[in-house]
Amino acid sequence: MVKIDAYISVRKENRIENLKGDLFKIASKKRESESDFGEIYITTIYPGKVKGWKYHKKMTSKLFVIRGSVRFTFCLRDDMKERYYFELSEDEFESIEIKPGVWMAFECISSTEAYILNFADIPHDDSESINKTYG
């Protein structure tokens, strides 16, 4: 696991290979950080498009790219000057965990629509997040 700070970490996830088709473990109650569960959803993004900025006050998200390739951008400050970049794709089974208090945006860098699975610790609530135009 690569830990950027207390807010962002990237982890290589468990892939169990099988000749008939692989199994990808998304979550386990054995991990302390996954003891809370709110909802799981998939968001899609089209090639060359950017979604963001989003800031969660309460939600912790664990993100997986299950189709395509995505570049994630994170900022820990409101002025957006210090940014961290990570790329995830369907070829590398990794996840990014983002704790509350981080600005996030993401861009589809593949030639086809990308799918991102979000394993969130609380159900979606518009009042707990803030949106800004990417720039």
CA distances from 126 to 58, 63, 76, 123 (A): 11, 19, 20, 10
How far apart, in whole angstroms, are the C-alpha atoms of residue 124 and residue 4?
25
**Coil, helix or strand at residue 63:** strand
Q: Please, which residues bridge with residue 63 across strands?
A: 96, 118
**pLDDT at residue 29 in the model:** 67
Contact call for residues 130 and 46 (beta carbons, < 8 A) = no
User: What is the pTM for the complete model shown?
Assistant: 0.82
Length of the chain (residues): 135
CATH number of 2-26+34-131: 2.60.120.10
**pLDDT at residue 19 in the model:** 85
CA nearest neighbour of 130 among 108, 101, 107, 106: 101
Spell out the domain ranges in the chain: 2-26+34-131
**pLDDT at residue 88 in the model:** 94
**pLDDT at residue 100 in the model:** 94
Q: What is the token pair recorded at 42? A: 């998939």
What backbone phi and psi angles, to 5 degrees, belong to 33? -70, -10
pLDDT, block means (10 residues), the chain with 135 residues: 66 77 72 69 95 94 94 87 91 90 96 94 92 80
